Chains A and B, each alone.
Chain A
Amino acid sequence: MPVSEYVGHIKDTVKSAWEGMSVTLSYMFRRPITVQYAGPELAEQSGDLIQHRLPSRYRGFLEVDTEICTACQACERACPIACIAIQIEKDPASPKQRVMTRFDIDEAKCMYCGLCVEPCPTGAIQHTREFEGAQRFLPNMVLRFVDPAKPVPPYKPPKGATAYPRVMLGEITRALVKKWDSPPPELPLAGVGKAPAKRKPEGDPRAAAMELAKKAIGADAKKLTGVLEEAQAGTDCGACTYPTCREYAEAMASGQEKRLHMCEPGGADSARATHIIMDSHKAGQVVVSPEAEKATYEGPS
């Protein structure tokens, strides 16, 4: 090894020590970037909640404002891991009225992807900026937005509304998140852990469609509208681009709307029933065409 190289090695080492050590020393005279986490109790006292520093798009715990939930179940269908469970039943008090008896979100299972927020017609389901919810017992992570004892009727959005009254984001979830060591709910928990109950129309969907088709024969526009509305899922979800099922039915009955397969919650059953009703209405007798047999849900586009 030539001497110049030998000395060069020593020089390079000294130089890199000089440079590197001045960089590390310089951080002794700068402010650290660590933000001291005070914990929820202390933060509440000082009013400096860490939640307030998070950006508004932060995807924290999900929250549902059941006051403006149309019970369309679009979120339940959008969820890739089925952490949302909604149950809709007929109101025992008034048979025409349907009510939500269950709206559970398993925050422990949720992967905070935000796919459920996007299809919501009224913005009832939202990500909050809440994230502190460590629980000793995992079932406590299931937030039950509907008290089974007090079923919630679906929200009927006003015509042409673009904004909906919503409770301050985060308040509902904050109230629902339990203390970390609160006792677990009594097991077995009603409905939790089971697959979300599928809403089954009473009886055979095909028979129901035939019944409706009989009603539609010779009906006037108003009656046809009623029959068609019954064939839809009736959740007013807006997936068909109409704000309510009634309006979609009116459009179909008046002949303005030619696309009969746009009811997303109803799926193939609704599409088939609508097809049969319209065919029967036109033909004056119950017709089940091969197209109707094959009808499935098709989106608005």
Chain B
Amino acid sequence: MREFLDEIIRDRLGQDPASWALTQGVYLVAMMAAGIALTTFGALFAGLTSWWERRIAARMQSRVGPNRVGPQGILQFLADALKLLVKEDLISSASDRWLFRAAPYFVVAGFALTFVVLPFGYHLSATRMNVGLFYVLSVTALVVVGILISGWASNSKWALFGGIRAAAQVVSYEIPAGLVILVPVLMAGSLNLHDIIRAQGGWPWDWYLFQTPMGYAGFFILFVALLAEGNRTPFDLPEAESELVSGYNTEYSGMRFAYFFLTEFGNLWVMSAVMTTCFLGGWQVPGVSAENLARWEALHQVPGWFYLVSAAVFCAKTLLLANVVIWIRWTFPRVRVDQMMSLCWKYLVPAAMALVVLAAVTELMSFELFGEAARVQAPLFSLRGLIHFAFFAAGGLVPAVLFFRKTFRNISFVGDRVRPLSNW
């Protein structure tokens, strides 16, 4: 972003950014604008997702869902937010008032700070931090602090249970997440989110997901670990409704509750975006190869449509993943605390560890075999390209086809008709 601003100051304002007195002021204004834009995006996304999740959940449960406020109920989240705004702000007398008030801001801060590095498309991100992935992992830990504070400050046993569970869960699952995220980092050789994306290609067989078995397994491990970090079912222990009433936010109401709510749904974007970046090729547009892009950049002629299309591709992948998370939430039961722990320490951590070692060895070997070419995506009609495609077919296409066949058989088995878009 700094280069972009420097460019504007130099070209449009005719000043030298290094010596101009107002440079820092321009930086500040731009930062505030970006911050407002990003948090607004986060809040809007969280609101819309809360509506969308309710619609999806309803359809999965053969209901209709909220469809009264606005077309198809899309404005439902505004109605909900309004209702939460005008609600009485209750703070129970026995609570730690200051911590109680502070907790939602920790949570929201931990969520909003991730947007500093998250990419939205080609060159579309607030910063291009070279330790981006590391930064994401560290600021998301701030959410746990907020949850722990809220659990403690509520002075309610249920909330305390929720807070403690959240701390145990998130701290545990940071480890497999942190380990397995090393797989794409090793493959790309960078922690910068944009660099990881640029090391992949546009077509599915160019994604890290389908390039090596390590990437394939790593995708699922990271997915499970991020589900647990985002407190989504089957790991929604901190707010397990049927056990802990509402977990850490039991005592919260009104807008303070809305902050927790917003973070929970906003985290859906964060985790999906990280997954998309690391394994699903990010904003890479199919058909635009790395050489193409490099040529455009060398000539300073990156076409405007590429920004838009890459953003659209990135959002589409992220939303697809977010939908999968929603889908999982409405399918699975919740695991117990000890099972959650054993899953993490007995299954995910050893597997992630093995994957990192294997990925390192494989990278080394492919350097031995292919030299510097291993860093670049191979064309489809080459040995490496064909291996990748075969892996994509075996790991992606065939299961998808079988899965959809099974799904439609489910429908005809019960004697229902397939009606894709009826009665929405």
Interface residues of A (CB under 8 A from B): 9-10, 17-18, 20-34, 36
In the assembled complex, how far is the CB of residue B221 from the closest CB belonging to chain A, in whole angstroms? Answer: 11
| Docked CA distance A131–B148 (Å) | 49
Neighbour of B411 across the interface among A21, A30, A36, CB < 8 A: A30
Number of A-B contacts (CB under 8 A): 67
Known: A29-B407, A31-B419. A21 touches B328 (CB 8 A): yes
Within 8 A of A (CB), among B48-67: 56, 58-64
In the assembled complex, how far is the CB of residue B324 from the closest CB belonging to chain A, in whole angstroms? Answer: 9
In the assembled complex, how far is the CB of residue A15 from the closest CB belonging to chain B, in whole angstroms? Answer: 12
- Contact yes or no, A36 B64, CB < 8 A: yes
| Docked CA distance A17–B328 (Å) | 9
Known: A32-B59, A32-B62, A36-B64. A24 touches B411 (CB 8 A): no
CB-CB under 8 A from B58, the residues of chain A are 32
CB-CB under 8 A from B419, the residues of chain A are 29-31
CB-CB under 8 A from A9, the residues of chain B are 347
Known: A26-B407, A26-B410, A29-B411. A21 touches B327 (CB 8 A): yes
Known: A22-B410, A32-B423. A27 touches B62 (CB 8 A): yes
CB-CB under 8 A from A21, the residues of chain B are 327-328, 331, 403
| Docked CA distance A9–B346 (Å) | 12
In the complex, the chain A residue whose C-beta lies closest to that of B403 is A22
**B336 at interface (Cβ–Cβ under 8 A)?**
no
- Contact yes or no, B408 A34, CB < 8 A: no
In the complex, the chain B residue whose C-beta lies closest to that of A23 is B410
**B242 at interface (Cβ–Cβ under 8 A)?**
no
In the assembled complex, how far is the CB of residue B329 from the closest CB belonging to chain A, in whole angstroms? Answer: 10
- Contact yes or no, B63 A10, CB < 8 A: no
- Contact yes or no, B331 A30, CB < 8 A: no
Within 8 A of A (CB), among B135-179: none
Residue contacts A-B, CB under 8 angstroms, 10 given = A17-B332, A24-B331, A26-B411, A27-B60, A27-B61, A28-B420, A29-B419, A30-B419, A31-B423, A32-B423
- Contact yes or no, B407 A25, CB < 8 A: yes
Known: A30-B418, A32-B58. A24 touches B64 (CB 8 A): no
CB-CB under 8 A from A36, the residues of chain B are 64
CB-CB under 8 A from A28, the residues of chain B are 56, 59-60, 420
In the complex, the chain A residue whose C-beta lies closest to that of B58 is A32
In the complex, the chain B residue whose C-beta lies closest to that of A10 is B347
- Contact yes or no, A24 B330, CB < 8 A: yes
CB-CB under 8 A from B407, the residues of chain A are 22, 25-26, 29
In the assembled complex, how far is the CB of residue A12 from the closest CB belonging to chain B, in whole angstroms? Answer: 12
Within 8 A of A (CB), among B377-414: 403, 406-408, 410-411
CB-CB under 8 A from A18, the residues of chain B are 403, 406
- Contact yes or no, B59 A20, CB < 8 A: no
| Docked CA distance A26–B408 (Å) | 6
- Contact yes or no, B410 A34, CB < 8 A: no
- Contact yes or no, A24 B60, CB < 8 A: yes
- Contact yes or no, B418 A25, CB < 8 A: no
**B19 at interface (Cβ–Cβ under 8 A)?**
no
**B416 at interface (Cβ–Cβ under 8 A)?**
yes
| Docked CA distance A32–B330 (Å) | 16
In the assembled complex, how far is the CB of residue B163 from the closest CB belonging to chain A, in whole angstroms? Answer: 28
Neighbour of A24 across the interface among B327, B408, B416, B418, CB < 8 A: B327
CB-CB under 8 A from A27, the residues of chain B are 59-62
| Docked CA distance A28–B421 (Å) | 8
| Docked CA distance A105–B100 (Å) | 53
Given contacts A27-B61, A30-B62, 19 further A-B contacts (CB under 8 A): A9-B347, A18-B403, A20-B331, A21-B403, A22-B407, A22-B410, A23-B331, A24-B60, A24-B327, A24-B330, A25-B407, A28-B59, A28-B60, A30-B411, A31-B419, A32-B58, A32-B423, A33-B62, A33-B63
**B422 at interface (Cβ–Cβ under 8 A)?**
yes
CB-CB under 8 A from B61, the residues of chain A are 27
| Docked CA distance A9–B347 (Å) | 10
| Docked CA distance A88–B184 (Å) | 90
In the assembled complex, how far is the CB of residue A254 from the closest CB belonging to chain B, in whole angstroms? Answer: 66
CB-CB under 8 A from B59, the residues of chain A are 27-28, 32
| Docked CA distance A92–B408 (Å) | 77
In the complex, the chain A residue whose C-beta lies closest to that of B424 is A32
| Docked CA distance A10–B63 (Å) | 32
In the assembled complex, how far is the CB of residue A224 from the closest CB belonging to chain B, in whole angstroms? Answer: 71
CB-CB under 8 A from B417, the residues of chain A are 30-31
CB-CB under 8 A from A26, the residues of chain B are 407-408, 410-411
In the complex, the chain A residue whose C-beta lies closest to that of B347 is A10
| Docked CA distance A25–B411 (Å) | 10
In the assembled complex, how far is the CB of residue B43 from the closest CB belonging to chain A, in whole angstroms? Answer: 27
- Contact yes or no, A31 B64, CB < 8 A: no
In the assembled complex, how far is the CB of residue A16 from the closest CB belonging to chain B, in whole angstroms? Answer: 9
Ordered nearest first, which 5 A-B pairs have the shortest CB separation? A26-B410, A34-B64, A24-B331, A22-B407, A24-B60
Within 8 A of A (CB), among B344-371: 347
| Docked CA distance A34–B424 (Å) | 11
CB-CB under 8 A from A23, the residues of chain B are 331, 410
In the assembled complex, how far is the CB of residue A28 from the closest CB belonging to chain B, in whole angstroms? Answer: 5
| Docked CA distance A199–B63 (Å) | 54
Pick the most buried of A9, A21, A29: most chain B CB atoms within 10 A of its CB: A29
In the assembled complex, how far is the CB of residue B138 from the closest CB belonging to chain A, in whole angstroms? Answer: 30
CB-CB under 8 A from A10, the residues of chain B are 347
In the assembled complex, how far is the CB of residue B213 from the closest CB belonging to chain A, in whole angstroms? Answer: 15
In the complex, the chain A residue whose C-beta lies closest to that of B64 is A34
| Docked CA distance A178–B189 (Å) | 76
In the complex, the chain A residue whose C-beta lies closest to that of B329 is A24
| Docked CA distance A31–B59 (Å) | 8
In the assembled complex, how far is the CB of residue B411 from the closest CB belonging to chain A, in whole angstroms? Answer: 5
- Contact yes or no, A29 B420, CB < 8 A: yes
In the assembled complex, how far is the CB of residue A190 from the closest CB belonging to chain B, in whole angstroms? Answer: 43
| Docked CA distance A23–B422 (Å) | 18
